[in-house]
Structure 1
Amino acid sequence: MGMVFGKITVASPKFQVLHSTPTYEIRQYSPSVAAEITYDPATLKGNKDGGFSILANYIGVLGKPCNKAAEKIAMTSPVITTTTTAAEKIDMTAPVVTAESGGRVRMQFILPEKYKRAEEAPEPVDERVVIREEGERKYGVVGFSGVAGEAVVKEKVEKLKAELERDGYKVAGEFVLARYNPPWLTLPPFRTNEVMIPVE
C-alpha cells in the first residue's frame, strides 16, 4: 500500500516546463493517445467517479481488461476530467448553463507511451469508451493537495485565469482537472491535483 501517502508510482504524460512562476507553470505536453468517456453525471446517481470504473475496466485495473485484445494496459496518472456546459456552443448572449444543470463530464486516461496512434490501442468492448489522439498542447498549471471539491477547484481556476491573463497568456478553452491518486488508495490530505488551463 505504498500509495496511501500520495507517492505516485505510475507513469505520467511527458511535458516540458516552458515557464515557471512562484504560483504556476506553463507546460507543453507531447502528443498522446487517450481513452475517454463522456457522460452526464446525473445519470450516474451521484456516483462522481462513474466514468472512472468504465475506463478502469477498459484497461483492466481490477480484473479482465474489457478490450477486444484482452490486453492489460498499464495505468498512468493523472485521471483528467473536463466539464463541458450545454451552453458552450451557443451564442454568449444565452444564459450560461452550469455544470450541474446541463453539463457533461469528459474523463480521460492517458494511455502508456508505447501507443503512438489511436489504432494501436486495443479496441474497447464498451462503446462508450472512445480512443483519441491528443496533439501537442500547452497549459497553465497550478497544483494543490487534498480533495478536489467543486468550490476549491473553482477558486483555483479563477485565480489561475487571472494570473495567466495578467501575464499576457491567452486562455484557449475550458479548464481541465487532473487527479493523480486513485481516491480509494489515498487519504485526502495526500492527494495530488492540478488545475490546467489551455493557453495559446
Structure 2
Amino acid sequence: MRWLWLVAVAMMAGQAGAEEMTRKGYERPAFVVEAAEGAREVRAYGPRVVAEVAVRGDRKAAVNTGFGLLAGYIFGGNDGGDKIAMTVPVEQADQGEGVWRVRFTMPAAAVAAGLPVPKDARVVLREMPAARMVVEGFSGMPDSVDMAARADALRAWAEARGLRVEGGPVYSFYDAPWTPAGARLNEVGFVLR
C-alpha cells in the first residue's frame, strides 16, 4: 500500500509546472523547476522507488557493472521473471572508498503493480523521499576528471547563492552509449538541505 501512496504523491508532484516526464520515450522522475540560471536549476522532486546496487571500482567500471546488474533485474532477473520498462537517467553517486551507488528509477506503473523481488541480492529496492536538488545539465562524453570539475563548480555556484548542498554529487546519464556526444544529456547534481 505504501508503494501506491508514493506513486500518487509522485504523480501529483509531477503536475502543474513539472518538466516533461520522458526523454526519448523513456520515463524519468518528475520535477518542478523552482529557479534557473543558464544550465543550472533548483528542482523539487517527488518521492520515488529505485533499484540500486553498490559497486567497488573506478567510476566508469562501476557504472558498467552496476548497469549490468540493474538491467538483469528489469529484464527478468526477478522472482516473477517480469520485464520492467527502462527509465532514465542512470544515476551514480560516489559513496567513498572506491564504492559507487548505481541506480535506476522504477517506472510508476511497475511500482503501482508491485515490484518483483530481485533474484540477485546485490540489487536493492529503496524508497527515495521527496528532495530538492541543484542540477546542471550538459552534453558530451565526460571523463571522471571533467565530472569532478563540474561538480566542484556547481557546489561553489550553489553555496554562493546561499544553498546548502548535502552529500553528493549524483551523476545522471540519459542516453545510450552510441548517442553522439553533442546529442547526449548528462547532469551533475546535489541534494539540498
Count of aligned positions: 171
**What does residue 79 of structure 2 align with?**
68
**What does residue 10 of structure 2 align with?**
none
What's the secondary structure of 1:174's corresponding residue? strand
**CA apart distance, 1:171:** 0.9
**What does residue 174 of structure 2 align with?**
180
Give the distance between the partners of 1:21 and 1:153, measured in 2 at CA.
19
Give the distance between the partners of 1:128 and 1:45, measured in 2 at CA.
19
**What does residue 188 of structure 2 align with?**
195
**CA apart distance, 1:23:** 3.9
Please give the residue correspondences for 1:128-147 in structure 2 after superposition, counting only pairs within 5 Å: 128-147=122-141
**What does residue 6 of structure 2 align with?**
none
Residue of structure 1 aligned with 2:108, choices 110, 113, 136:
113
Give the distance between the partners of 1:18 and 1:103, measured in 2 at CA.
34
**CA apart distance, 1:190:** 2.0
Q: Deviations over 1:14-53 (max 9, x none)?
A: 01111111241000111000000001126x9947511101
**What does residue 74 of structure 2 align with?**
59
Q: Which has the higher contact order (CA 8 A, sep 6+)?
A: 1
Change (3 A) 1:132 1:187: same
* Kept after mapping to 1: 8 A contact 2:63/2:102: no
Give the distance between the partners of 1:192 and 1:23, measured in 2 at CA.
11
RMSD, matched Cα: 2.1
What's the secondary structure of 2:186's corresponding residue? strand
Give the distance between the partners of 2:108 and 2:181, measured in 1 at CA.
29
The structure with the larger Rg is 1
* Kept after mapping to 1: 8 A contact 2:135/2:190: yes
**CA apart distance, 1:187:** 2.5
Looking at secondary structure, tell me which structure has more helix per residue.
2
Q: Deviations over 1:116-165 (max 9, x none)?
A: 57x93110001110000001011100001111311111111111111100
Residue of structure 2 aligned with 1:77, choices 76, 88, 103:
88
Change (3 A) 1:66 1:140: same
Amino acid at match of 2:32: Q
Q: How high is the TM-score relative to the length of structure 1? A: 0.79
What is the percent sequence identity of the aligned residues?
Answer: 33
Give the distance between the partners of 1:168 and 1:137, measured in 2 at CA.
17
* Kept after mapping to 1: 8 A contact 2:31/2:45: yes
**What does residue 29 of structure 2 align with?**
13
Please list every run of 5 or more consecutive structure 2 residues that lacks an aligned counterpart in the other structure: 1-22
Give the distance between the partners of 1:177 and 1:15, measured in 2 at CA.
17
Please list every run of 5 or more consecutive structure 1 residues that lacks an aligned counterpart in the other structure: 1-6, 86-101
Residue of structure 2 aligned with 1:103, choices 94, 98, 104:
98
Give the distance between the partners of 1:188 and 1:76, measured in 2 at CA.
20
**What does residue 3 of structure 2 align with?**
none
* Kept after mapping to 2: 8 A contact 1:41/1:48: no
Looking at secondary structure, tell me which structure has more strand per residue.
2
